[in-house]
Amino acid sequence: MADVNGPPHLAQLLNRVNRRLRLDAVPPASFTELSVAQVRVLDVIPADGCRIVDLSGELRVSSQGLGQLVKHLEREGYVELAADPDDRRAKLIRRTGAGDAVVAQVSGLLDGVEEAWRAEIGAERFDVFREVLTELAAKLR
């Protein structure tokens, strides 16, 4: 990754690490047919559910586009929509058992990547890496 302008900047490094994560987190052939975007939606839905508008803010996507993903997930049985008791106009999105199973599979897959990376760079360095990422992510607004 040579660059005439010097070493890669932070955005380039983060992009490459994300690409590496996707390459290293290879799902088994039996894994779900869902897209990365659909799995990402499932992964950020809280256990008690949430509204599409809250989810779109978390994912930084439009409510309309997210609504299409949610409708597909609902048709496939990964989420269910229920009336929001606090706002009759809104719907709550909740994962079903099938959605929970996908999230558990992804979590297991990512745990494997963490173990491999920890072995690659050493436990102490990996733990610091993860701690720094956690600290930076906690300051997200």
For the residues 35-64, what does the mean pLDDT come to? 88
CB 90 within 8 A of CB 84: yes
Please list the alpha-helical segments (H only) found in the chain.
Answer: 10-24, 36-44, 52-59, 63-75, 97-121, 123-138
Q: pLDDT tens-digit profile of 58-88? A: 888 888 888 889 999 999 999 999 888 888 7
φ, ψ (nearest 5 deg) of residue 94: -130, 145
Predicted local confidence at residue 76, as pLDDT: 93
Residue 83 placed within a domain: yes
Residue 3 placed within a domain: no
Residue 20 placed within a domain: no
Q: pLDDT tens-digit profile of 31-41? A: 778 888 888 89
Tell me the two tokens of residue 117.
């990376």
Higher pLDDT, 2 or 65: 65
In whole angstroms, give the CA distance from residue 2 to residue 36.
30
In whole angstroms, give the CA distance from residue 54 to residue 45.
10
Residue 96 placed within a domain: yes
Residue 114 placed within a domain: yes
In whole angstroms, give the CA distance from residue 76 to residue 15.
31
**Nearest-5° Cα angle at 140, 16 to 135:** 75
Residue 97 placed within a domain: yes
CA dihedral 77, 52, 59, 94 (to 10 degrees): -40
Residue 72 placed within a domain: yes
Give the amino acid at 80.
E
Domain CATH number, residue 91: 1.10.10.10
Residue 128 pLDDT > 70: yes
For the residues 104-128, what does the mean pLDDT come to? 96
Residue 78 placed within a domain: yes
In the block, tokens 């890496």 appear at 129
Q: Among 45, 42, 52, which residue's Cα sits nearest to residue 103?
A: 42
Count of domains for the chain: 1
| Full residue range of the structural domain in which residue 130 is found | 35-138
